[in-house]
Chains A and B, each alone.
Chain A
Amino acid sequence: MSRIAMTLPGRSMPAATARAGLGMIEAGWARSLVLARATRLDTAMQRDSAPDVRAVETTADGRSLAALVDAVARNRDRQAFGALFDHLMPRVKAYAMRLGASGPAAEEVAQEVMLLIWRKADSFDPARATVSTWVFTIARNKRIDLLRRENRPALDPGDPMLVPDSPRPADETIERDAAEIRLRAAIRTLPPEQAELLSMAYFEDRSHSAIAAATNLPLGTVKSRIRLALDRLRRSFKDE
């Protein structure tokens, strides 16, 4: 359909962003996500007509995770859910274990996350997030809810107070899958000292000061390595 026409002009954007200089660096995170989203919507719209053969997020046997979630949402497809289970359960369990849960506790948390995936499949919006992002936020929120009794403060996307995102020009569309491929490659090629601290920031319940204390590194070093890692990954969203 219009997919090719929409994705090709995407390359013109990063050069413009690079030229814009320092002021744009902050905006880069937001911008790259908006761009990534635009293409995801495009992908979702044509899902009914053709299988997304270039999907990055796939099971070991090549089935698109987004299409599986969609099948669960539309048809309560148990077979699709089984495939999601096989792919996601070991990863969510690994995430819970990385955060300090014992094997059995991690398995229990991961089972609850899988049930939430079944229940909330309708709420997965490929225009807003990749499947792994969506599952990550569900697992993260489940963990917080288990740890704390109080309500978890969260943004309500339907809040009338919400200041909406600025509308995106049609030509600022880049290829979603390519962005996700670049992100994953960037994670794999992070310098080890950056990768380690980034993992600690995500997977250990510690402030940067606590990470500094645990690693015997100066706080400034911890902050700058995490910042460098994030900047590098942020750049990977863009086609540079």
Chain B
Amino acid sequence: MSTRHPDDEILLAYAAGTASHGTALLVATHITYCPLCRGKLQAMEQVGGALMEALEPAAVSAGARDRVMALLDGDPRLGTSDSRPPVTAVTGRTVLPRALREAAGSDADGLAWQPVLSGVDQVLIGKAVPGGERTRLMRIRAGRAVPRHTHRGSEMVCVIAGGFRDVLGHYGPGDVAVADDAVDHQPVADDDRDCICLAVTEAPVRLTGRFWRWLNPFVQF
């Protein structure tokens, strides 16, 4: 299955606050590009607010009100910024959406890219838990193909720069591709520039191309 957007379950998990770190990062990245999903998400948050409002109110202990009122004096005012300073310096040629830059530590050009396969580099984001979710930025050199692979589990990819094509179509910046274990695909980066994308994999992908198959146990891809 493939769409250009994360499906409703993913958006709902983000809205409800139950999404994993990698999934939340992918959603925050995608909605930077996608007003449609941003709107869906806001609607889901409004539903969340209405559901919270509809809960049976819990009894609050007697002293709670006075305790909180006493804490108000001299309490700092955070203002409208949501405590994040505005983006000023933009470094490098490939600018990442803010959530992604904060998670990765820098814009794309400043990252410590590790070659994983010919024409493919990656940067792991966060700690990879064995058997668990893996979040990474991938850079596929212009015109190069990622070896054929399937997935034990699902993989979501959000394109940041450039684009790629696979059996299911073409993906450009902001587009999300979802692949599960039924899909054996071979993404090919556009010819004109490197393709950078965020990939969140539930379990490591499994290479299926003839040449790559034997590499599987060694390549943490």
Contacts and interface: CB of A to CB of B under 8 A. Distances in A.
Interface of A: 26-27, 29-34, 36, 57, 76, 78, 81-82, 85-86, 89-95, 97-98, 103, 106-107, 110-111, 114-116, 118-120, 122-123, 128-137, 139-141, 143-144, 148, 150-156, 158-166, 180, 183-184, 187-188, 198-199, 201-208, 223, 226-227, 230, 233-234, 237
Contacts, number: 235
Interface residues of B, number: 74
Contacts of B49: 129-137
Nearest to B39: A30
Nearest 7 pairs between A and B by C-beta?
A30-B39, A90-B57, A132-B49, A133-B49, A29-B40, A136-B49, A140-B17
B52 A201 contact: no
B138 to A, nearest CB: 18
B72 to A, nearest CB: 6
B68 A155 contact: no
Given A120-B82, A205-B18, 7 more contacts: A136-B48, A140-B17, A140-B48, A161-B32, A183-B46, A202-B16, A237-B46
Interface stretch (B23-31, B109-117, B163-171, B179-187): B23-31
B93 interface: no
Contacts of B38: 30, 155, 165
Interface of B: 5, 8-9, 12-13, 15-18, 21, 24-25, 27-29, 31-40, 42-61, 64-65, 67-69, 71-72, 75-82, 84, 86-87, 90, 95-100, 102-103, 126, 174
Contact of A188 (B32, B54, B72): B54
18 contacts: A29-B39, A32-B39, A36-B46, A103-B58, A107-B61, A119-B75, A123-B78, A129-B46, A129-B49, A135-B52, A136-B52, A153-B103, A155-B38, A159-B98, A163-B35, A184-B50, A187-B50, A188-B54
Given A78-B72, A86-B65, A150 B78 contact: no
Contact of B51 (A81, A123, A202): A202
B32 A151 contact: no
A84 to B, nearest CB: 11
Contact of B60 (A93, A188, A205): A93
Contacts of A129: 42, 45-46, 49
Contacts of A198: 47, 51
A156 B46 contact: no
A139 B68 CA distance: 16
B57 A94 contact: yes
Contact of B12 (A27, A114, A201): A201
B52 A139 contact: yes
- Which residue, B25, B34, B82, has most C-beta atoms of chain A within 10 A? B82
Contacts of B52: 91-92, 94-95, 132, 135-136, 139
Contact of A164 (B31, B35, B47, B87): B35
Contacts of B65: 82, 85-86, 89
A106 B58 contact: yes
B60 A165 contact: no
Given A122-B80, A140-B48, A153-B24, A234 B12 contact: no
Contacts of B58: 90-91, 93-94, 97, 103, 106
A201 B19 CA distance: 11
Contacts of B9: 207-208, 223, 226
A61 to B, nearest CB: 15
B86 A158 contact: yes
Contacts of A131: 49
Nearest to B86: A158
B35 A133 contact: no
Contacts of A30: 35-40, 43
A145 to B, nearest CB: 10
B31 A31 contact: no
